[in-house]
Structure 1
Amino acid sequence: MNRYISIGEAAQLLGVSVSTLRRWDREGKVSSVRTSGNQRRYDLDVLLPHRVRQKTDCRKTLAYARVSSHDQKEDLERQKQVLELYCAHQGWTFEVISDLGSGMNYHKKGLKRLLNEILDGCVARLVVTHKDRLLRFGAELVFAICEAKNVSVVILNSGEDTTFEEDLAKDVLEIITVFSARLYGLRSRKNQKLLEGVKKAVEEAQQC
């Protein structure tokens, strides 16, 4: 059986003023019925989802760290420490998820888990040191999913990632390696020479 409450009780339940609730009613954000005396009454079962959406303390904060290769493990630990210190300082209940893999790889174990938890509605906010730590290309899609699921995104450093060039070079080398394996199967010396030349150029640029 539905339980209807007064506008004062509803405003207190939602943590807003009576005037705000009246405005929400006019804008169609909440619905009410009228008594015979023309007083607003609100269905408690309808209002509860609004209260749930506003309370995020039952959802956790996920922090995400990533590097491209094993020789960047020190940077991975540094990212994790920065994320842990920041989240702890904010007083959030948090968990750090980390990945070791290319920013062009959409199938990393940690990234999959991160997206699944966001889609399941378990996450209140996502924290990263840089946008590129999520994905080299496609981070905006993850942010769009976060917006749709009411997940706040916190980027600690919105400037240029200091390891961008190094990571990008490693990602390009990984792509070359994949295509090399496929083209070598064709036993084309022309293809082999072409790929080896590109790989050498990337490695030389990486050392500059």
Structure 2
Amino acid sequence: MSNLVTVSEAAELLGVSTRTIRRWESEGRIKAVRTEGNHRRFEVSELLGKNKDASLTVAYARVSSNDQKEDLKRQEIVLESFCSKNGWSYELISDLGSGINYRKKGLIRLIKLICSYQVERLVLTHKDRLLRLGGDLIFTLCEIFGTEVVIINRSEDSTFEEELTKDVLEIITVFSARLYGSRSDKNKQIVQELKEVAKDLK
């Protein structure tokens, strides 16, 4: 993204409407520069600076598939209870999708909130609920943008071998589903065989 953004890009970055951006400019809360064609442009650094005092807590839950919806509900209950117990005003974001999928709607919203200085803390039930692969990248973003990361069940984190097995299983499951279709008999057979191999590895 260029350091100069349009009205619509500024609105998306801050999570507000374009009407709000124009109102803030007219009130002098943010400054716009004008292009040769007299179009408004806003500096990203100034826009982000406007949100540095935000104190939003985001509770994030995720499961990989539809048959894990009960687990998703349990995560949500744990997160809501934990945030309420600590007296935090929070927003709950839930995702249904693979842990190696970076394009999940909730994850994208979470990243936008973090990168616009709106999130004071991120709460997870387990570290791997964020992403199976690449979670450390999001944690680095949290560090850069001043977001505290709270993981409720750190003591239940898997061993390196267990994590690796889960990652390999999920990668092959995703690619076999794309190749054969998630409901095909061939895909189900591949997944079942992988699970049997994984059991022998543990």
TM-score, normalised with respect to structure 2: 0.61
Q: Distance in 2 between matches of 1:157 and 1:196?
A: 31
Shift of residue 203, structure 1, vs aligned partner: 4.5
Residues 167 and 129 of structure 1, relative CA distance in 2, 3 Å threshold: farther
Q: Secondary structure at the match of 1:146?
A: helix
> In the alignment, is residue 82 of structure 1 matched against residue 71 of structure 2?
no
Alignment of 1:107-186 (within 5 A): 107-161=103-157, 169-180=169-180
For residues 74 and 171 of structure 1, the distance between their equivalents in structure 2, rounded to whole angstroms, comes to 23
Q: CA deviation at 1:173?
A: 1.2
Counterpart of 2:75, as a letter, is: Q
- The letter of the residue matching 1:139 is G
Corresponding residue to 2:194 among 194, 202, 208 = 202
Structure with max Cα Rg: 1
Change (3 A) 1:70 1:173: same
**CA offset digits 1:27-71 (Å, max 9, x no partner):** xxxxxxxxxxxxxxxxxxxxxxxxx96xx5x42100100001111
Q: Distance in 1 between matches of 2:166 and 2:68?
A: 10
Q: Once the 2 structures are TM-superposed, how far is the Cα of residue 198 of structure 1 from its aligned partner?
A: 4.7
Q: Report the identity percentage.
A: 46
Secondary structure of the residue that 1:92 maps to in structure 2?
A: coil
What amino acid does structure 1 have at the position aligned with 2:155? G
Alignment length (residue pairs): 143
Q: Counterparts of 1:80 and 1:168 in 2: how far apart (Å)?
A: 27
Deviations 1:134-193 (A, max 9, x none): 000111000000000000000111134579667863553122222457xxxxxxxxxxx9
TM superposition shift of 1:76 = 0.4
| Distance in 1 of aligned mates of 2:63 and 2:111 | 18
What letter is aligned with 1:79? Q
Two-structure CA RMSD over aligned residues (Å): 3.1
Q: Secondary structure at the match of 2:133?
A: coil
Q: Write the letter of the residue equivalent to 1:91.
A: G
SS at match of 2:70: helix
The whole-number CA distance in structure 2 between the counterparts of 1:135 and 1:124 is 20
**Kept after mapping to 2: 8 A contact 1:68/1:171:** no
